Amino acid sequence: MKDILENIRQIKSSGKRAALCIIVETKGSSPRKAGSKMIVFEDKTIEGTIGGGSLEKQVMEDAPSVIESGTPQKFSYNLEDDLGMHCGGYAEVYIEPILPDEQLYIFGAGHVGKALANLASQFGFEIILIDPREEIIKGFEGKSYKIIQQDFVEASKDLNFGRNAYIVITTPKHKYDEDVLALCAKKPSAYVGMIGSKNKVALAKKRFQEENILTQEEIDRVDMPIGIKFNAQTPEEIAVSILAKLIDVKNSKSE
């Protein structure tokens, strides 16, 4: 197998999900010894090998459940009694999920969006900023963020989100916020939230319902007003509130 760290990095950046499987202990006869590695993808295709045969086949069967749970697990196999391998022996295999980086899409790179991007980048989020304003985008030169300089609504139509996508809507106008939310709430994501006062949110919900823009289920999954509730006032404080909510959702996924 090529460099394992590079392989994992490529899988994470591709958006695919997989599991790293490592033999951590063997006793008696076994196809391969401790340290042997392979990667199993969701469709049970593999890269590398831990020796083939029934052990490898069983690990391929066990890996998808680990990927789905998002939690590493260690499996013990009696090669003869459990797997019918005539070589006998015993093996322990550590299986760790390889999941895509959480992608944070921020619609609106103004004061709150900028503060959130700077904070969230320290917590493992891949930052994607969407804003058509050239003067705003120039303020991010030298940053490692992905920038989409495009109309808010057009970008929300074009973007395809996955289960690892976190969507924060904080554009400069209420109309943009609602139009972007109307599109994003119908797409897969781990989280979607819209900034706004209680009054603004109540009016938005009423419009979505009366005009049949979103179903009640789609409305209910939106975090609005956005973030953990505390007396946040400055853009930086509001960003802390939003980030706290994102971290809570992210960590709750693996419980």
Residue 252: burial class (beta carbons within 10 Å; 0-12, 13-18, 19+): exposed
- The pLDDT, as a whole number, for residue 84 is 53
Pair (133, 8) in one structural domain: no
Residue at a domain's end among 98, 129, 161: 98
Q: How confident is the model at residue 81 (pLDDT cuts 50, 70, 90)?
A: low
- Residue 100 DSSP one-character state: P
In total, how many domains does the chain have? 2
Residues 189 and 166: their CA atoms lie apart, in Å, by 6
Are the CB atoms for 72 and 90 separated by under 8 Å? Answer: no
Q: What is the CATH classification number for the domain harbouring 128?
A: 3.40.50.720
Domain boundary among 73, 98, 123: 98
Are 156 and 176 a contacting pair, CB within 8 Å? no
Q: What mean pLDDT is reported for the chain?
A: 87
Per-residue pLDDT at 200 exceeds 80? yes
Rounded Cα distance, 149 and 168, in Å? 16
Distance CA 202, CA 210 (A): 12
Q: What is the mean pLDDT of residues 146-160?
A: 93
Q: What is the pLDDT of residue 90?
A: 79
Same domain, 119 and 200: yes
Dump pLDDT digits (tens) for 231-247.
888 999 999 999 999 99
Q: Is the pLDDT of residue 85 over 60?
A: no
Same domain, 160 and 194: yes
What tokens appear for 86 in the block? 């005539």
Q: Please, are residues 215 and 185 in contact by the beta-carbon 8 Å criterion?
A: no
Residues 6+ apart with CB under 8 A from 109: 117, 129, 130, 131, 133, 136, 137, 139, 140
Residue where one domain finishes, among candidates 98, 120, 143: 98
Do 108 and 213 belong together in one domain? yes
Q: Where are the beta strands (DSSP E) in the chain?
A: 18-27, 37-41, 46-48, 73-78, 90-98, 103-107, 126-130, 146-148, 165-169, 191-194
| 131 and 174 inside one domain | yes
* Residues 114 and 140 placed together within one structural domain of the fold: yes
Please check whether residues 110 and 93 belong to one and the same domain: no
Q: What is the pLDDT of residue 160?
A: 87
The span from the CA of 187 to the CA of 192, in Å, is 10
Q: Answer whether residue 180 shows pLDDT above 90.
A: yes
Q: Which domain holds residue 82?
A: 4-98
Please write the tens of the pLDDT for every residue from 13-40: 777 889 999 999 887 666 667 888 999 9
